[in-house]
Structure 1
């Protein structure tokens, strides 16, 4: 009865079509398109109007301090410790109570994503793969989304990298807009992830020309010169 009531509540909040689609993707089939993006590590980030945030402290993630994720990311503690043990570079941001409120990762070698997509993302010499960026809702729309990336770029540049690459899901519009705001460029490659019955995954890559994100750019105001009398 509890499970049935839960489904009814979701239908009432989200609508039948959206709930049906979620159930289909979770239990039958889904197809994700991941656009490959890149940018150098020295070009300035375009101006933005993101709001300030409460003070936070940047700490490098280790096996020993991963417990800081317990309050806001309780299901990620072991994953964070595992990634640190594998040698990836992770930054977390702690609030005044030493709880992690945001994190982001970088890998200098091919990254096998065992925790989410299930595929391997290849990394070339001089590049690093950025992944796992997340923060608590109270920090959405703040400068932390920019500062966390810039700080990671600096850390990876100090390790000899000159380019950041990552992937963005085509159904995640806020993430695609963030990439545009940060000055990323499309590589023209798409990593496809297929999942059948929530168990079997298949992968392939395709290419495209032009831009898949251009329609998301904010139109620039056009100034018209006043007519002379």
Structure 2
């Protein structure tokens, strides 16, 4: 009965077509396209009109301080501790109460994502793979989305990295716009993830020509003077 009530509620909110599409993705077949992106660590970050945010402390994530995620990212505490134990570089931005309001990770080695996508992302010499960036809702639309990455880039540059690479779901328009705002460029590679019956996953990399993101670009403006280092 509870399932039927949730189904009716979803149909009222999203419509029948959207509901059937969600059921298909969850229980029959789903296809995700992860676009590979990259940028160097020294080019100026393009100008933006993001809002300022209150002062925060930047801390390296460790297994011992992962409890700071409890308030805003309670379901991630264990994952944060595991990633720290695996030796990845993680930063969290902490408010005056000691609660993490944003986090991001990087690694200069091939990254096997056992927590979400379930596949391996290869990393070349001089690169680092950026992943897991997220902000608490109150900080959406603020400069923290920029500073979060700049702080990580500085840390990874000291480890000998000169290029950041990552992947972004082609259906996540806000994240794609963030990449463009930060000056990322497309690698014209796609990691395709296929899920059957909500259980079995298969992976395949494909390539494309041209740009998948051109329609999302805004008219360019003169660059700001701040740099990533």
Do the two structures share a fold, i.e. TM-score over 0.5? Answer: yes
SS at match of 1:24: helix
SS at match of 1:71: coil
CA distance in 2, matches of 1:14, 1:59: 40
SS at match of 1:50: coil
| Shift of residue 55, structure 1, vs aligned partner | 2.1
Name the CA shift for 1:2/1:193 in 2 (closer, same or farther; >3 Å): same
| Shift of residue 5, structure 1, vs aligned partner | 1.6
Alignment of 1:184 with 2:188, yes or no, is no
Cα deviation code 1:50-105 (max 9, x no counterpart): 00112221111000000111111111111000000000000111111111111100
Alignment of 1:52 with 2:52, yes or no, is yes
* TM, length-normalised to structure 2: 0.93
Matches within 5 A, 1:1-229: 1-219=1-219
CA distance in 2, matches of 1:86, 1:75: 19
| Matched residue, 1:225 | none
| Shift of residue 151, structure 1, vs aligned partner | 0.6
RMSD of the alignment, in Å? 1.2
CA distance in 1, matches of 2:14, 2:138: 23
CA distance in 2, matches of 1:109, 1:168: 19
| Shift of residue 220, structure 1, vs aligned partner | 5.5
| Matched residue, 1:226 | none
SS at match of 1:154: helix
Cα deviation code 1:182-224 (max 9, x no counterpart): 0001111111011111111000111111111111112469xxx
Cα deviation code 1:27-68 (max 9, x no counterpart): 111101111110000011001000011222111100000011
CA distance in 1, matches of 2:156, 2:10: 42
* TM, length-normalised to structure 1: 0.93
SS at match of 1:133: strand
- Runs of 5+ unmatched residues, structure 2: 222-229
SS at match of 2:195: strand
CA distance in 2, matches of 1:10, 1:95: 35
| Shift of residue 170, structure 1, vs aligned partner | 0.6
| Shift of residue 124, structure 1, vs aligned partner | 0.6
CA distance in 1, matches of 2:119, 2:43: 30
Aligned residues: 221
Structure with higher Rg: it is 1
